[in-house]
Amino acid sequence: MGDIVTMKVKEGGGPSSLKCPMLTTTNYTVWAMRIKVLLRVHKVWDVVESEPDHGEKNDMAIALIFQSIPETLNLQVGDLDTAKKVCDAIKSRHMGADRVREARLQMLMAEFDRLRMKDTDTIDDFVGKISEISSKSSALGETIEGTKLVKKFLSSLPRKKYIHIVASLEQVLDLKITSFEDIIGRLKTYEEKVAEEE
C-alpha cells in the first residue's frame, strides 16, 4: 500500500527525481504535506489554493495528484475539473466532517496528555512521538503552541534520569519564550554526556 510514485523534473539541467508516497487510508497527513511540496516544485500549488482554472497549470496539478492516489479514489474524483476541487474532495474523505474532526482532535489531545517518555526511549524517540501528535493536530486545524510542547516535554521525562537537568532548565530559562527546538537540543546534549559517562 505504501507505493512510491517517482516523478522526473528537469529544471535548468539534468533530471532529478521527486518521490511522493501513494495515499493510503492511514497516511493522509504526511501525504498532504508532500503533495503540497511536489506541487510547489512544479509551480502549480497556486491553482490548488485559489482555484482559478489556468488550463495547463490546473491540468498539471491534477495529473500529479492523480499519480499519487489509488485508482478507486481516481474514479471518485475523476469528474472534478479543478485541482482545488480534487484536493478538497480528497481532504473531506480523509478528514471527515466536523464531528469526526472534533472526535479525532479529542482523541489526539487525550493521547498527548497521557504521553510519557519510557526509560528505554531516547530523546529523539520521544520527540518523534510528540511531533507526530503535534503535526496530526495541525492537520486537523488545531496547532499546539510551543510553550505547551515545552511544558509537556519536560514534565513527561523520567524523573530519575532527568530531574537534575529539568530543574536546571526551569531555573535558568524562561520557558514561556524558550523554543521547543532549544529544549530538545539541550536535552540531547545532556543525554549524550550521560551516555559518555556511563
- Sequential pLDDT tens for the chain (198 residues): 444 445 454 444 444 566 777 888 778 878 888 899 999 999 999 888 886 666 888 889 999 999 999 988 888 888 888 889 998 888 888 776 567 778 888 999 999 999 999 989 999 999 999 999 999 898 887 899 999 999 999 999 998 889 999 999 999 999 899 999 999 999 999 999 888 887
Residues 58, 124, single domain; the answer is: no
Residues 10, 90, single domain; the answer is: yes
Percentage helix, strand, coil for the chain under 3-state DSSP, each rounded to 5: 65, 5, 30
Residues 87, 123, single domain; the answer is: no
Indicate the helix (H) or strand (E) that contains 194: helix 180-197
pLDDT value, residue 97: 57
Dig out the grid coordinates for 188 from the structure: 540531547
Is the pTM above the cut of 0.75? no
Residues 174, 124, single domain; the answer is: yes
Residues 9, 78, single domain; the answer is: yes
Residues 31, 83, single domain; the answer is: yes
- Whether the Cβ atoms of residue 18 and residue 10 lie closer than 8 Å to each other: no
Q: Which of 95, 129, 157 delimits the end of a domain? A: 95
Inside any domain, residue 101 = no
Domain of 91 in residue numbering reads as 4-95
Residues 8, 86, single domain; the answer is: yes
Structural domains counted in the chain: 2
pLDDT value, residue 13: 42
Residues 91, 137, single domain; the answer is: no
Q: What long-range pairs does 148-152 form, CB within 8 A, spacing at least 24?
A: 149/180, 150/175, 150/178, 150/179, 150/180, 150/183, 151/175, 152/112, 152/115
Inside any domain, residue 106 = no
Inside any domain, residue 107 = no
Residues 12, 84, single domain; the answer is: yes
Indicate the helix (H) or strand (E) that contains 125: helix 123-139
Q: Which of 36, 62, 95 delimits the end of a domain? A: 95
Inside any domain, residue 71 = yes
The 3-state secondary structure of 10-72 reads ECCCCEEEEEEECCCCCCHHHHHHHHHHHHHHCCCHHHHHHCCCCCHHHHHHHHHHHHCCCHH
Residues 87, 39, single domain; the answer is: yes
